[in-house]
Structure 1
Amino acid sequence: MGLFSRDTDSGGDSDDENSRSFFEERGFIASAIIIGAVLICLVVWFMARGTNSPAAAPSQSPSTPAPTGQPTAVEPTGAPATPINTPPPATQTAPPPPNSHTGGCHDKSPEQGIPRAAAPTAVTWQYEAQMLVPLQAANGPATTSPDGVRSCFSHSPTGAVLAAMVLLGQVQNSAVSVAALKDRVLPGPGKTLAMAAAEKEARTPPTDPGSVQFAGFKVLYYPQNATQAIVQIACDLNRKAYGAIQVTMQWYRSDWYAVLQDDGTFNGTVEPDILSSLDGYVRFSGSS
């Protein structure tokens, strides 16, 4: 049984139907452990589909805590936002080469400013299965392995954001998810569980992965000369709502790697936020 799944035989009311796991509806039971960040957003969207369901109401404040002593923005209250005013795709530039000796982790003095008001520029968005991920020559990824895993991000706040988004996109792509988890996640019990689930899903990939795209981000934690970064990633959930979840990245062996919880997810027991708007987030999306 995957995360957020429910016993569908225990009741036939509409609330139970609307709150069943999106993983179960889309054949994602095996992948629930892997994609605890972005695909959990799909769970929230599925639960929010029923307008009479309590899950449809937006959270009044973020459920995801920032590290101790770190400020976190309070999301405005109100009706769930329908992202009809999402900005157009980032300026499409020539995509960075698959492998480069400049930029990304090769840059020894990357810009250390935390992006709080404006999105990264000169970004190309490319599909990983159904999801658009950002690529930038300056901050990465600067390397793509023969099996398709993207790596080599700059040691900077922007590099950490791009690394998190690219990995989240790649773990949704069954063609590369196992390799991405193997190469881009720190060792630990969570990694072992995530890889086992990814291998199972790769044998029976879902036929309908749902609709989720990145919508924005904010950097929650990035001290000077950081070895750890915590970013909150916001997703557009089929243009019905926004969901956001926290991802921890660790600077390790000259690149950013994801830190998974012991249960194999990015967020553990912390549920994603349903946002009233993208206020407080840097809007960053490859979809119009």
Structure 2
Amino acid sequence: MGLFSRDPDSDDDADGAKANFFEERGFIASAIVIGAVLICLVVWFMVGGRSDEPTANPSQAPSTVVPTAQPTDEESTEPPVEPPTSAPTATRTAPPPPNNGTGGCHNKSASQAIPRLAAPVAVSWQFEGKMLIPIQAESGPARTSPNGVRSCFAHSPTGAVLAAMVALGQLQNPETAVATLQTRVYPGPGRQAAIAELGKPSSTPSAVAGEIQFAGFKVLDYPPNATRAIIQVVADLNGKAYGALPVTMRWYKGDWYVELQPDGSLNGSTEPDVLSSLSGYVRFSGSA
């Protein structure tokens, strides 16, 4: 069972090719998880996830440290075509130290306000493989292990958002994917299923055309004093559309962990949403 799965009893002929695609390739374990939400979203979109091709807002390449807070509940309009942008670059502003004794999971007074309109502020963006991930002194990550795995996020809605994005970014990086799967995924059947796939041959495509970067998020569920949160993470699909997928986070032993479904996937039979705009989502990326 791959990281993404689909109901095998579905008889929708229009989606048959897409279903077969995922059944054959699986997107499992280190390579499943290396692709995680982002590679799989692009492949799903390119092989015909929707019959009507959405018009997306071409994203600019990430280049700055602090995303500008922008309301996201405005009505979506047809965006103009923009010229190609240069490759993304990491922030030039000094990020928080890799080991911070006051921020992240050490922050006992982190704001419990759910970010619905404005992106987290004072965020630096650093490359994790080819992706940019967000880092904030207040909400984390406040700890980096010798093998590069980042952890220690604030027990807050913003901490859960940052934890989800950082974990997905590290899962797509071959240098940190296995360690992240083993140490940043909530223990249970899902993690066991994913780890069990580590030794199996993978037919995951070795490359996917284009670059993928985070574009935004929406907090779907975060009750008071949450021990479980659901964050809808949005990725820019190569400037052609936006892909959104819910990521379940669990508060465990003083930190946020990604929780996988029993089959080892992020979302079970739930397919990623392909969006034509970021209306209703908080824009959050390394883009200017």
Could you tell me the TM-score, scaled by structure 2's length? 0.77
**Distance (Å, rounded) in 2 between the aligned partners of 1:240 and 1:234:** 13
**Distance (Å, rounded) in 1 between the aligned partners of 2:51 and 2:212:** 17
Q: CA deviation at 1:117?
A: 0.9
Question: Which residue in the other structure is 2:232 paired with?
Answer: 232
**Distance (Å, rounded) in 2 between the aligned partners of 1:224 and 1:146:** 34
Moved over 3 A (4+): 1-5, 15-25, 27-30, 32-36, 84-90, 196-201, 203-207
Could you tell me the TM-score, scaled by structure 1's length? 0.77
Gaps of 5+ in 1: 6-14, 49-53, 59-78
Q: CA deviation at 1:212?
A: 1.4
Question: Which residue in the other structure is 2:41 paired with?
Answer: 41
SS class of match (1:214): strand
**Distance (Å, rounded) in 2 between the aligned partners of 1:162 and 1:125:** 11
Q: Sequence identity of aligned pairs in percent?
A: 57
AA paired with 1:208? Answer: A
Q: 2:58 aligns with which of 83, 86, 107?
A: 83
Question: Which residue in the other structure is 2:258 paired with?
Answer: 258
Question: Which residue in the other structure is 1:63 paired with?
Answer: none
Aligned residues of 1:217 and 1:232 also touching (Cα < 8 A): yes
**Distance (Å, rounded) in 1 between the aligned partners of 2:252 and 2:193:** 21
- Cα 1:94–1:87, aligned 2, differ >3 Å: closer, same or farther? closer
The superposition leaves residues 200-237 of structure 1 with CA deviations (integer Å, 9 ceiling, x where unpaired) of: 57x99964254211000010111111111111001101
**Distance (Å, rounded) in 1 between the aligned partners of 2:271 and 2:109:** 36
- Cα 1:173–1:88, aligned 2, differ >3 Å: closer, same or farther? closer
Aligned residues of 1:41 and 1:237 also touching (Cα < 8 A): yes
Question: Which residue in the other structure is 1:244 paired with?
Answer: 244
Question: Which residue in the other structure is 1:149 paired with?
Answer: 149
Q: CA deviation at 1:16?
A: 8.4
SS class of match (2:183): helix
Question: Which residue in the other structure is 1:55 paired with?
Answer: 50
Aligned residues of 1:216 and 1:233 also touching (Cα < 8 A): yes
**Distance (Å, rounded) in 1 between the aligned partners of 2:17 and 2:222:** 41
**Distance (Å, rounded) in 2 between the aligned partners of 1:22 and 1:90:** 36
Q: CA deviation at 1:89?
A: 3.7
Count of equivalent residues: 253
Question: Which residue in the other structure is 1:278 paired with?
Answer: 278
- Cα 1:29–1:267, aligned 2, differ >3 Å: closer, same or farther? closer
**Distance (Å, rounded) in 2 between the aligned partners of 1:279 and 1:140:** 27
- Cα 1:130–1:34, aligned 2, differ >3 Å: closer, same or farther? closer
AA paired with 1:178? Answer: V
Aligned residues of 1:99 and 1:144 also touching (Cα < 8 A): yes
Q: CA deviation at 1:96?
A: 1.1
Aligned residues of 2:149 and 2:180 also touching (Cα < 8 A): yes
- Cα 1:21–1:118, aligned 2, differ >3 Å: closer, same or farther? same
AA paired with 1:55? Answer: R
Gaps of 5+ in 2: 6-14, 67-90
AA paired with 2:140? Answer: G
SS class of match (1:55): coil
Aligned residues of 1:90 and 1:285 also touching (Cα < 8 A): no
Q: CA deviation at 1:28?
A: 5.3
**Distance (Å, rounded) in 2 between the aligned partners of 1:95 and 1:200:** 38
**Distance (Å, rounded) in 2 between the aligned partners of 1:251 and 1:158:** 13
**Distance (Å, rounded) in 1 between the aligned partners of 2:229 and 2:257:** 10
Question: Which residue in the other structure is 1:212 paired with?
Answer: 212
Aligned residues of 1:22 and 1:42 also touching (Cα < 8 A): no
